[in-house]
Amino acid sequence: MVQRHRSIERLMELLGRLPGVGPKTAERFAYHLLRIGRDDAIAVADAIVEVRDAVRTCSVCFQLDASDPCTICADETRDRGIILVVEDPREIARFEEAGWRGVYHVLQGRVSQLEGIGPDDLTTESLIARCKRDVVHEVCLANNPDLEGEGTAQLVAERLRPFCANVTRLARGMPAGSAITQLSKSILADALDGRRPLQPPG
């Protein structure tokens, strides 16, 4: 019997820990890294080492950046009194594009009973510590508008309330640019629930 070299087995095992990667995909990745030029394969290894050397987690808000505290937490022009709470550091770029000028807090995940992740497995304690330490007049929970996101927001809000009077949640409703005929009844129900007085043109 031909045995696979143990270094291939080892690489497959490690690649199989990437999110959504099963044994077959890990095998495909490992053999791809063996088939391509040596320099191209080593470049992947170097890029992993470099990213871990260059990028760190901000000790205040847990976003990923070259500096700690991160550029946003160090920025004196940002409003530190309003914290937008996100699950994943990737979401920050989206809110920056949308014009957010407050600061952030990355939960590093979501509550999931299935996976045994409770609010205390996230960065909730650090968020509470920020509320105690700084003058925070609003914490807005920007969890995804789905079942797990709502659950996470509820549980984090429970912990936060003793330390912050004003815990908010992002609005749900019709997505900008959509057509009502194409929207689901849950989206329209949200839009009805959250209807607001029309401002007279200023």
Binding site for a second copy (CB under 8 A): 1-2, 4-5, 7-8, 10-11, 14-15, 17-20, 25, 27-36, 38, 40-55, 57, 64-66, 71-72, 88-90, 92-93, 96-97, 108
Q: Which is nearer to a second copy, 100 or 173 (CB)?
A: 100
Q: Which is nearer to a second copy, 93 or 188 (CB)?
A: 93
> To the nearest whole angstrom, how small is the minimum distance from the Cβ of residue 80 to a second copy?
16
Q: Which is nearer to a second copy, 63 or 143 (CB)?
A: 63
> To the nearest whole angstrom, how small is the minimum distance from the Cβ of residue 6 to a second copy?
8
> To the nearest whole angstrom, how small is the minimum distance from the Cβ of residue 69 to a second copy?
14
Burial zone of 110 (CB within 10 Å; 0-12 exposed, 13-18 middle, 19+ buried): buried
Q: Measure Cα distances from 190 to 82, 149, 152, 185, 196 in Å.
A: 25, 15, 19, 9, 12
What would the DSSP string read from start to end of 141-168?
E---SSHHHHHHHHHHHHHHTTT-S-EE
**Spacing of C-alpha 51 from chain mean position:** 18
> To the nearest whole angstrom, how small is the minimum distance from the Cβ of residue 5 to a second copy?
5
> To the nearest whole angstrom, how small is the minimum distance from the Cβ of residue 44 to a second copy?
5
> To the nearest whole angstrom, how small is the minimum distance from the Cβ of residue 56 to a second copy?
9
Q: Measure Cα distances from 193 to 151, 171, 187, 189, 190 in Å.
A: 19, 10, 10, 6, 5
Q: Which is nearer to a second copy, 28 or 161 (CB)?
A: 28
Q: Bin 185: left if φ > 0, else alpha if -120 < ψ < 50, else beta.
A: alpha
3-state secondary structure of 103: strand
Q: Measure Cα distances from 2 to 5, 41, 76, 124, 150 in Å.
A: 9, 24, 63, 51, 51
